[in-house]
Structure 1
């Protein structure tokens, strides 16, 4: 597993990350909202990924830091969680979350979960709040995890 800031990413790593994100979010899930939101380049953003020789990147997520919490006291936002279709079912997203929790688990976090994946995040202490809403054309729930 690799963790890098924007300035540490190589061009090949960036390409592989963006390829995976666009293949899954745009082509497979048909999400019609902006993917490149400039948050990738923020100095505090961390990119976590599992390289794959055949597919470039097998799994990915990023963590963002907001100066002003958008829910309660959560300044850490987990997002863009994605696993290559050929590598699903191997527990790769769980490996990414294990690392994020190990590094940031003492801090409150939040995320916007596609509704079907809520049980995975619940295993890591994230609790849904609010109602189901549509984001990027898919049902989502906001989730919060207090710091340890």
Structure 2
């Protein structure tokens, strides 16, 4: 898997289409959740694209501190269903954390994690903060990464 980091204006039309298709495939269709994915936050985030055989199969978007949470953040963490068995989610999170460190020069990261993925994020050093809450009808928890 090869990862690329791009800002919104660097994305090609085909890359943007592939990102939106992947996010819709997983977050709307697979998870059976009707929500507004196109939220005008893509323009102020950096996009982490995971390519396999020239196809985007993994993706996140990252925000600098203050653009989403007080801390930097990672969101829209997604891997195509047929590619999850290869552990690409872990590679994607490592690449996203490295991108936050490199581009924003910070180590503290906050995420809004789907509750069922708590253990996955804990393997990357995230810890639950507070109680669970519903976001778009799906149980979520705030998780923070504070390596220091």
Per the alignment, residue 59 of structure 2 pairs with: 60
Root-mean-square deviation (Å): 1.9
CA distance in 2 between partners of 1:138 and 1:86 (Å): 22
Equivalent position of 2:29 in the other structure: 27
Query: What residue is the counterpart of 2:110 in the other structure?
Result: 110
Distance 1:68 1:12, change over 3 A: closer
Can you give the 5+ residue segments of structure 2 that lack an aligned partner in the other structure? none
- Which contiguous aligned blocks of 4+ residues in structure 1 show a shift greater than 3 angstroms? none
1:91-110 mapped onto 2 (5 Å cutoff): 91-105=87-101, 106-110=106-110
Cα deviations across residues 66-96 of structure 1 (Å, max 9, x unaligned)? Answer: 43774xxx42111000110111121111111
Judged with a 3 Å threshold, the aligned counterparts in structure 2 of structure 1 residues 58 and 68 are, in CA distance, closer, same or farther, namely closer
Q: CA deviation at 1:130?
A: 1.0
Q: Distance in 1 between matches of 2:82 and 2:67?
A: 38
Contact 1:109-1:147 at 8 Å conserved across structures: no
TM-score (norm 1): 0.87
Preserved CA contact (<8 Å) 2:125 2:147: no
Q: 1:82 aligns with which of 75, 78, 81?
A: 78
Q: Is the 8 A contact 1:113 1:142 kept in 2?
A: yes
Match of 1:39 in 2: 41
Question: Relative to total residues, which structure has the larger helix share, 1 or 2?
Answer: 2
User: Which ranges in structure 1 are unaligned for 5 or more consecutive residues?
Assistant: none
Q: Which residue of 2 aligns with 1:125?
A: 125
Cα offset, 1:5, TM superposition: 0.6
Q: What secondary structure, in the 3-state scheme, does the structure 1 residue paired with 2:60 have?
A: strand
CA distance in 2 between partners of 1:69 and 1:83 (Å): 22
| TM-score under structure 2 length normalisation | 0.87
